[in-house]
Amino acid sequence: MLGSHEGRQPIGRATVHVAIVVSLGFVLLAVAAGYWGVIAAADLVRSPSDAAVIAASRTVPRGLIRDRAGKILADNKLDPNGEMYRVYAGKAISQVIGYASSVYGRAGLERAYDAELTGLTDDPLTDALAKFGADRYDPKDLSLSLSNELQKAGVAALGKRRGAVVMLDPRNGDVLALASTPTYDASGIADPTTARDTFEAIQADPDLPLLPRATLGRYVPGSVFKIVTAIAALGSGAINATTTYEEQPGSEKRGLLVEGFRVRDGHHPSTGSTALDLIGATEVSCNIYYALAGLDTGGKDLVAYANRMGFGSPLPFDLPTAVSQVTNGDGPEPGGFTDDVELANASYGQAEAFVTPLQMALVAATVANDGELMRPRLVTAITGERDGTTAVAPGSMGRILSVADARDINAAMVRAVEGALGQQFTTGAKVPGVTTAGKSGTAELGGSGEPHSWFIGFAPAEDPTIAIAVLVEQSGRGGEVAAPIAGDLMTLYLQGLR
């Protein structure tokens, strides 16, 4: 062999290697084509960033959205160029309905139900056939459980304050009002001629009008969270309605010593040195009692019961919701608490507990519906030309606690509104002539400014038809601000306003 041939590999083998690598590369491309064309396609073709969806949104009328009385909340209009745009029935519904804009995309129900409102079918075969036909679109109308009148009343009651009102029918989960303030002008965003100015002004507003506080706002709950603790404590059997804690009256003066840390509570002079039971403690909103009840229940059960009501994950709802939590969950103790101090504080709604107004309305609804929680339902029916009307049946999120336990908490919440002592904390929450149940909350924000004012409740207590949660941001004590709003709104509802 000559030097020049020494150690030479045949070109052929290396060529085969290169060919294999290149072929594998192309196989990868084929897989990618399959992924985008088939697997990811179902979501992509319905996404508002899809060109076909964008194109359709300008020419194909979107489905209408109606409230429970049949009033049209979202309608279509033609601009001079023959392109469609949306108009909405007032500002009160803006955070629920959202907007559909050719410039700024979608928000709210317009986003969540974009595929249905646009009218893209979700049946692949019909879809494939429709590609060849003239009309690919079958826009569907949405019927909501929402009452435009109640919604407007809620927004009016909140007035200029930032806050949220959630009203539910506890028997079937129907969302009657889902108000957030401040509201914004969704029609202005949807109208192409005013879109930019409107949207930029809204975005510049420090009060964040685009934030649907009822579903996406997370707040320290304060004392309204005691109902969650009560549900967990009774449900797990840690306490019963007559449980009392001997150390409770004394601790009110000295503070309750938990692992060397004092849980303090303002003294309730009217109750003297009596050890309170569940009803009494709820009536005067006794932090010490609930801290002790929470400690007895244990972090694990407290979190478990909360999670069964929807804490810990987004709610099964028509709109996106923020996740409510009892604790950050990164601690070593059961349930993820850092220590018993956190558990004790969380039990009366401080520490790391954060909730959405919708979540708290569900807590009220759980008690109101005798322990069974109905899935919150906003869209009650979807109507299309091709497929007719599809009703959305009420659904249950499960039985959270027994009827008897629910009745005990019900009674405690009635006392918090109707009781001689309770009235002082929930002024104005009572619906005249109707037994009303509720719980106020004052969420301390750690020194900075006024606390959040909370109220959750339901009426009539014997057979509740309405459950409510009211939150007013940084406005003072729960009994003074949120409670009267809730009382007024429940009164309007029970008088027949829909």
Partner 1 sequence: MDGFTLVLWAARLLFLALIYLFLARVIRALLRDLRAATREPVDRHGRLIVLESPGGEPMVGRSFGLDVITPLGRDVNNAIVIDDAFASADHAVLTYRGQSWYVEDLGSTNGSYVNGLRVDGVAPFGFGDELQIGEVRMRLERANR
Partner 2 sequence: MTVVATDGRTLDGLTGVLRRIRPRPRWLEFRLLALVAFAVVAGSFSLALTVDGRFGLYDVGATVLFLVALAVAHLAQVLAGRRTDQILLPAVAMLGGISLLLMQRLPQDLVHQTILGVPLGLAEVQLVWLLSGLAIATTLGIVVRSDLWLRRYKYTWAAVGVGLLLLTFLFGTELNGQRLTLQIGPIAGQPSELLKVILVVFLAGYLSENRSLLVQQDSWIGPLRMPPLPYLAPMVAMWAIALGIVVVQRDLGAALLFFGVFLAMLYVATGRISLVIIGLILFVLGSALMAVLFQHVRTRVDIWIDPFADPLGAGYQVVQALHAFARGGLLGVGLGAGLPEIGGVIPIPEVHTDFPLAALGEELGMVGVIAILGLYLVVIERGMRIGAAAADDFRSLLAIGLSLVIGVQAFIIAAGNLKVLPLTGVTLPFISYGGSSILVNSLVVGLLLALSDKGVEPPPAPRVGSRWRRLRRSGVA
- Summarize as ranges the residues that interact with partner 1 (CB under 8 A): 1-2, 5, 129, 132-133
Q: Are strands 105-106 and 100-101 parallel, antiparallel or unpaired?
A: antiparallel
Residue 221 half-sphere exposure toward CB, CA atoms < 13 A:
31
Binding test (CB under 8 A) with partner 2, winner from 70, 125, 131, 330: 131
Instruction: For the CB of residue 47, give the shortest distance to partner 2 in the complex, in Å.
Output: 7
Q: How far is the CB of 145 from partner 1 (least distance, A)?
A: 39
What residue 9 binds from partner 2, partner 1, none (CB within 5 to 8 A, per partner kind)? partner 2
Give yes or no for residue 22 binding partner 2 (CB under 8 A).
Answer: yes
Taking the C-alpha atoms of residue 104 and residue 190, their distance in angstroms, rounded to an integer, is 8
**131 contacts: CB under 8 Å, gap ≥ 6:** none
Contacts 24+ apart (CB under 8 A), 66-72: 66/141, 66/142, 66/143, 66/144, 67/144, 67/146, 67/147, 67/148, 67/151, 68/143, 68/144, 68/145, 68/146, 68/147, 68/174, 68/176, 68/380, 68/498, 69/147, 69/148, 69/149, 69/498, 71/148
- Residue whose tokens read 């930032």: 162
Using CA atoms, how far residue 132 sits from 34, 268, 496, in Å, is 22, 75, 50
Residue 129 is a binding residue for partner 2 (CB under 8 A)? no
CA distance 365 to 85: 38
Which helix (H) or strand (E) element contains residue 453? strand 452-459
Does residue 320 touch partner 2 according to CB under 8 A? no
Instruction: Tell me the backbone φ, ψ of residue 180, rounded to 5 degrees.
Output: -135, 140
User: Are residues 400 and 305 in contact, defined by beta-carbon separation less than 8 angstroms?
Assistant: yes
Q: Which partner, partner 2, partner 1, none, binds residue 33 by CB below 5 to 8 Å per kind?
A: partner 2
Question: Is the distance from CB of 62 to CB of 76 less than 8 angstroms?
Answer: yes
Among 70, 80, 132, 200, binds partner 2 (CB under 8 A): 132
Does residue 49 interact with partner 2 by CB under 8 A? Answer: yes
User: Applying CB under 8 A, which part among 49-57, 307-315, 426-434, 483-491 lies near partner 2?
Assistant: 49-57
Give the distance from CA 418 to its chain's centroid.
Answer: 28
Residue 41 interacts with partner 2 (CB under 8 A): yes or no: yes
Residue 37 interacting with partner 2 (CB under 8 A): yes
- Binding segment for partner 2 (CB under 8 A), chosen from 31-39, 137-145, 146-154, 315-323, is 31-39
- Catalytic residue, candidates 143, 145, 180, 223: 223
Window of 24-32, 183-191, 340-348, 355-363 that interacts with partner 2 by CB under 8 A: 24-32
Binder of residue 331, out of partner 2, partner 1, none (CB less than 5 to 8 A by kind): none
Nearest distance in Å: CB 132, partner 1: 5
Active site residue 475: no
CB of 29 to partner 1, least distance (A): 16
SS3 sequence of 462-498:
CCCCEEEEEEECCCCCHHHHHHHHHHHHHHHHHCCCC
Give the torsion through C-alpha atoms of 476, 479, 482, 488, to 10 deg.
-140
Q: Which does 133 bind (CB under 5 to 8 A by kind): partner 2, partner 1, none?
A: partner 1
- How many angstroms separate the CA atoms of 245 and 485, rounded? 34
Instruction: Give the residue with the Cβ less far from partner 1, 33 or 69.
Output: 33
Least distance between partner 1 and beta carbon 85 (Å): 32
Residue 28 interacts with partner 2 (CB under 8 A): yes or no: yes
Pick from 6, 200, 246, 330 the residue near partner 2 by CB under 8 A.
6
Is 2 near partner 2 (CB under 8 A)?
yes
For position 19 contacting partner 2 by CB under 8 A, the verdict is: yes
H or E element at residue 292: helix 287-297
Minimum CB distance to partner 2 smaller for 35 or for 262: 35
CA distance linking residue 35 with residue 96, whole number of Å: 34
**Residue 112 near residue 379, CB atoms below 8 Å:** no
CB of 133 to partner 1, least distance (A): 7
Q: Judged by CB under 8 A, does residue 78 bind partner 2?
A: no
Site string for partner 2, 108-127 (x = CB under 8 A): ----------------x---
Site for partner 2, rule CB under 8 A: 2-9, 11-15, 17-19, 21-23, 25-26, 28-30, 32-34, 36-38, 40-41, 44-45, 47, 49-52, 54-56, 58, 83, 105, 124, 128, 131-132
Catalytic annotation, residues: 223
